[in-house]
Amino acid sequence: MAAMSERLDITFHALADPTRRAILSMLLEDDMAVTDVADPFDMSLAAISKHLGILTRAGLISQERRGRVKWCKLEPDALRDASIWMQSFGQFEAVNLDAFEKFLETELSERGAGPDAGPGDGP
């Protein structure tokens, strides 16, 4: 359990930064050279490299050298643990408030109290 918790910590730390999330979105399209990843951002190549290092340590991307160029590739399976953890919070159905209101109106009317009835108005 501790290893899972540590992986989640590293993953969520990596995802906490908007620059890193933007990089992941860019890599959804295709592998990219580090210099291409850095182009849209108003920061140094060294700063982008730090972001890429965090994403790599989290296992969210991999980096490999092809000739003189360093390439980044998205590793989507790395989000599996985080996704499973987050889905555990979705075990409860979202409440449909309109349906719930109709249910209450039906229940109250069957018991002889209308929707405007106060606490002592029904049986």
Boundaries of every domain in the chain: 2-83
Q: Tens digits of per-residue pLDDT, 27-52?
A: 999 999 999 999 999 999 999 999 99
Instruction: State the CATH architecture for 2-83.
Output: Orthogonal Bundle (1.10)
pLDDT of residue 25: 95
Give pTM, 2 decimals: 0.70
- Residue pair 70/34 in contact by the 8 Å Cβ criterion: yes
- Residue showing tokens 């991999």: 62
Q: Give the pLDDT of residue 89.
A: 76
What ranges in 30-79 are assigned the alpha helix state H? 34-38, 45-57
- What is the DSSP pairing of strand 61-66 with strand 32-33? unpaired
Per-residue tokens: 11: 């993953």
